[in-house]
Amino acid sequence: MSTTTLEPSIETHVHYLNVSYGIKSWLLTTDHKRIGLLYLASITLMFFVGGSAAVLMRLHLIEPQGGLVEPETYNKLFTMHGIIMVFFFLIPSIPATLGNFLVPMMLGARDLAFPRLNLMSWYLYMIGAIFTLSAIAAGGVDTGWTLYPPYSSAYSHTHVIMAALGIFIAGFSSILTGFNFIVTIHKMRAPGLTWFRLPLFIWAHYATSVIQILGTPVVAVTIALLALERLFHIGLFDPNVGGDPILFQHLFWFYSHPAVYIMILPGMGVMSELITCFSRKRVFGYSFIAFSSVAIAVLSFLVWGHHMFVTGQSVYAGLVFSALSFMVAIPSAIKVFNWMATLYKGSISYDAPMLYALGFVGLFTMGGVTGLFLSSLAVDVHVHDTYFVIAHFHYIMVGGAVMAYLGGIHFWWPKITGRMYPDGWARFAALVIFVGFNLTFFPQYMLGYLGMPRRYAVYPAEFQVLNVMSSAGASILGIGYLIPLIYLTWSMRYGKVAGPNPWKAKGLEWTTPSPPPTENFEETPVVTEEAYNYSAVGEEA
Amino acid sequence: MAEHQAQSAVMDPLAHQFDDLQQQHEASNFGMWIFLATEVMFFGGMFAGYTIYRHEYFTAFAAGSHLLNWKFGATNTAVLICSSLTMALAVHAAQTGKRKALVTFLILTILLGMAFLGIKFTFEWSRDWNENLIPGELIAGHPFAPQGEILKQLQEAHAGLPQVELFMFFYFALTGFHALHMVVGIGLLTVLTVMAWQGRFSPERFNPVEGSGLYWHFVDIVWIFLFPLLYLIGGIS
Amino acid sequence: MAGHVVPQKVYFVIFALLIGLTGLTTWVATLDMPSPWNTVVALAIAIFKASLVILFFMHVKYSSNLTRAAVVAGFFWLAILLVFTLSDILTRQWIPQSTGWTTTIESPH
């Protein structure tokens, strides 16, 4: 691209934001970029709803006997926090916002393969969200996000079916997104864009989509069966008539374990983009990272029993699941090593996206390693259903996935909006989030190891110090999340106008104007070079 | 770009995101296969539940299976296989540009599908309703409560009634979701028939027919498994 | 571009095979076979029928490797669900028996 003059204006070209105005042009759009923004707004809203539940919980847990809410209410809080964060924030987050926006652009395509299905997926998400929020408004659900019977099917007096319906519908939203990505990636790559020239963001979303289409239908039917059991008192999971609650857990975790990889793989894809750009280096071990994404997608389906070690599941099945769970850590570790090798002797710059990326690498590694503790059957007997598990998955989901999400949002923000965010505030917020996060969740490892159970509204007094630390951290973390909300919104109107490629990054999306026109590319690009073809600074040193 | 605009009566021309009709056709076809993979997993979850409980409670499942009328099951299997034939012939007609044959075969497929549903609703499910074999308390006051001959038959087989109820649950869940898919399929085919009648398909553009064909055959395959697994457990006399 | 056009004759042959196999399944169910075999035979016939539908009615025999991969993937993943869940159910009763601890080392007599 030719160098631009002092103040490039985004008003001089027609792009996807100003091509048409009015609510209908947004609600009936089939443009993948607008749909990405629709999702961005919805999931941001859901994030703060789920986050408020967390704030209330952490405030409550300042006192050992509970300071804020009744125990029944506490049960509802952790349930809604889990359901909203898992199904309505983490699962859609990167794929439905950044993925929708970027997958066609990174492939050199004009849109996804099925634009109308893409819009339908957003509507399904919204309908699912409305059902779930209605369940909250009507009084909540208290079964835990895992909805285990027989409590959820026979004993709970809360709005289980309403919430289950919301999750069921949102599941189809997820399936449609994955389905669209798979077909697009297979069939709509630009000329010259062979599989091994694809950005690793695409490989990550491909693997994620495979998990989405093969796993989500199982949880859908499982939730349907649960709803039928609750409605019609069938006895499917009722031990009194020979039903097996463990069967529910098998069917539930068959999806829900791979689901956690739906949540993290796209973040790993973002990592590959950020780390290469901000080290000005080609990624180390491209094919290893690509294949490891596929390996994770496959292996993730073979390990679900590690959530069920203490349920009465067969010991021998447990051993097999334990061994496989150790194996599934390997591809993730390969990625971390490759990213670190990419950083080595790179020309590192510490822009906000890179701060998030570096945070990810450290925190994801910590969370991942504690996953190995949990995979070990004998150790899991002691730490299952304690705060150790909570710390483990929050390190991965929040320290990992949410940091990757924020890093990606910041990285592609100029492309999406045509504006830059204020750099100082962004870096400050990244640091606040990092500090707040660690202060919130590191004490929870210790709490869990010392024996504090999860999902309890009260706890023994000797755990109070760690709990107060955790709650203090949570308040810092909450502030940290609010700061980007403010300055990113502000920047949409008042931010400095960004050119097509403010980061000087590689990738087809950076060859378009910022914001891009509706059709993305005037002519379909032809790709002749490898991905991440940054000048090899320091490679020969 | 001008060529496909000339065929104004035919199905919508190339969608804007595709480069050519070939790509569009392949994407559409591949997309339908991916969707069917999700359907395999959807029914698969229920099959998994069925497998577990059949293993645990074989006697009850066999007794429950004997309560079903295998003749209706076999007839329905034949009906669906016929409908798969007519559907395949419909796709063939679309591929070779024979509009009348396409419409005829689509209508035949719809009729056979409705025959399947008719047999199921009027002969099988209504009988189950009358004999109180519907599991759970679907309608208040109408619980699972086999009487008379049926009760005697179950007692002679030493089948636990709660487990027979479990079998009936799987029967209704599996055939119910299957019937739901049939209804959707019939709806799709109806829309297609209207479009075919209007001459909107051609050998260059018949993706929806082919896609619906794949869907219809899949629903047939589910039934191919359901028939022996539900109706023929433990043998028939 | 219509893709591969399968001659109608093939469809009729497959149809006849499918009807025949349905009859076979029903007939086999009337035979008295020891316990797992009637299930095995019934499933084998069902799998064969499904394969005929997939290969010929659904054109997979004439389709790309990508399509075949999608078909295989669906069934393979279902197999994962069934096999691993069954592995729990079938082995749940195998409780390992510990031989216990001794606190002293017994000298052999």
pLDDT in tens, B178-199: 999 999 999 999 999 999 999 8
Q: Looking at the partner chain, which of A186, A210, A314 has a beta carbon nearest the beta carbon of C92?
A: A314
Which of A238, C36, A245, A227 shows the shortest CA–CA distance to B163? A238
Is the pTM higher than 0.80? The answer reads yes
**Closest chain A CA to residue B16:** A110
Nearest CA-CA distance, residue B111 and chain A, Å:
29
Please report whether residue A403 resides in a domain: yes
Structure tokens at C91: 């082995």
Is the pLDDT reported for residue A1 higher than 70? no
**d(Cα A327, Cα B126) in Å, to the nearest integer?**
52
Residue A527 vs residues A521, A524, A531: alpha-carbon distances, Å = 13, 10, 10
Tell me, yes or no, whether C12 and C54 share the same domain: yes
pLDDT in tens, B26-72: 999 999 999 999 999 999 999 999 999 999 899 999 999 999 999 99
Per-residue confidence at B11, pLDDT binned at 50, 70, 90?
low
Say what the pLDDT of residue B8 is: 43
Average pLDDT over residues A208-229: 95
Tell me, yes or no, whether C41 and C80 share the same domain: no
Mean pLDDT computed over every residue of chain A: 94
Q: Looking at the partner chain, which of C26, C39, C74 has a beta carbon nearest the beta carbon of B36?
A: C74
Tell me, yes or no, whether C9 and C51 share the same domain: yes
Please report whether residue A15 resides in a domain: no
Domains of chain B: 35-231 (1.20.120.80)
Is the pLDDT reported for residue A448 higher than 50? yes
pLDDT in tens, B102-145: 999 999 999 999 999 999 999 999 888 888 888 887 667 778 88
Say what the pLDDT of residue B49 is: 93
Number of domains in chain C: 2
| Residues of A in Cβ contact (< 8 Å) with C73 | 210, 214
Asked if A143 and A152 touch (Cβ cutoff 8 Å), the reply is: yes
CA B88 to chain centre: 15
Please report whether residue A146 resides in a domain: yes
CB < 8 Å from C in window 27-86 of B: 29-30, 33-34, 36-37, 40-41, 44-45, 47-48, 51-52, 55-56, 70, 74, 77-78, 81-82, 84-85
Reduce the secondary structure of A164-233 to three states and give it as a string: HHHHHHHHHHHHHHHHHHHHHHHHCCCCCCCHHHCCHHHHHHHHHHHHHHHHHHHHHHHHHHHHHHHHHC
Residue C84, domain extent: 64-92
Q: Hey, are the CB atoms on A214 and C77 less than 8 Å from each other?
A: yes
Q: Hey, are the CB atoms on A305 and C88 less than 8 Å from each other?
A: yes
Please report whether residue A184 resides in a domain: yes
Q: Is the peptide bond before A245 cis (omega within 30 degrees of 0)?
A: no
Residue A320 at interface with chain C, using a CB cutoff of 8 Å: yes
Per-residue confidence at A10, pLDDT binned at 50, 70, 90?
low
Number of domains in chain A: 1
Per-residue confidence at C3, pLDDT binned at 50, 70, 90?
low
Please report whether residue A16 resides in a domain: no
Tell me, yes or no, whether C53 and C81 share the same domain: no
pLDDT in tens, A50-87: 999 999 999 999 999 987 999 999 999 999 999 999 99
Please report whether residue C105 resides in a domain: no
Q: To 5 degrees, how large is the angle CA B82–CA B87–CA B89?
A: 95
Residue A521, domain extent: 33-532
Tell me, yes or no, whether C12 and C50 share the same domain: yes
pLDDT in tens, A232-241: 888 889 888 8
Please report whether residue C77 resides in a domain: yes
Which residues have CB under 8 Å from A226's CB, separation 6+? A147, A149, A152, A153, A160, A164, A237, A248
CATH of the domain at A153: 1.20.210.10
Please report whether residue A81 resides in a domain: yes
| Residues of B in Cβ contact (< 8 Å) with A254 | 45
Tell me, yes or no, whether C54 and C70 share the same domain: no
B79 or B207: which leads in pLDDT = B79
Provide the percentage of residues in chain B whose pLDDT is more than 90: 67
pLDDT in tens, A416-447: 999 999 999 999 999 999 999 999 999 999 99
Q: Hey, are the CB atoms on A302 and C89 less than 8 Å from each other?
A: no
Tell me, yes or no, whether C9 and C28 share the same domain: yes
Tell me, yes or no, whether C54 and C1 share the same domain: yes
Please report whether residue A272 resides in a domain: yes
Mutate to test the interface with C, among B224, B225, B230, B231 (most CBs of C within 10 A): B224
Say what the pLDDT of residue B159 is: 85
Say what the pLDDT of residue B4 is: 42
CA B139 to chain centre: 26
- ipTM value, please give it: 0.90
> Helices A160-187 and A115-137 meet at what angle, rounded to 10?
160
Say what the pLDDT of residue A538 is: 40
Tell me, yes or no, whether C2 and C52 share the same domain: yes
Asked if A432 and A480 touch (Cβ cutoff 8 Å), the reply is: yes
Q: To 5 degrees, how large is the angle CA A236–CA C34–CA B152?
A: 55
pLDDT in tens, A292-350: 999 999 999 999 999 999 998 999 999 999 999 999 999 999 999 999 999 999 999 99
Average pLDDT over residues A14-38: 94
Average pLDDT over residues A479-498: 95
Tell me, yes or no, whether C47 and C1 share the same domain: yes
pLDDT in tens, C5-56: 889 999 999 999 999 999 999 999 998 888 788 889 999 999 999 999 999 9
pLDDT in tens, A248-290: 999 999 999 999 999 999 999 999 999 999 999 999 999 999 9
Please report whether residue A26 resides in a domain: no
Per-residue confidence at B211, pLDDT binned at 50, 70, 90?
very high
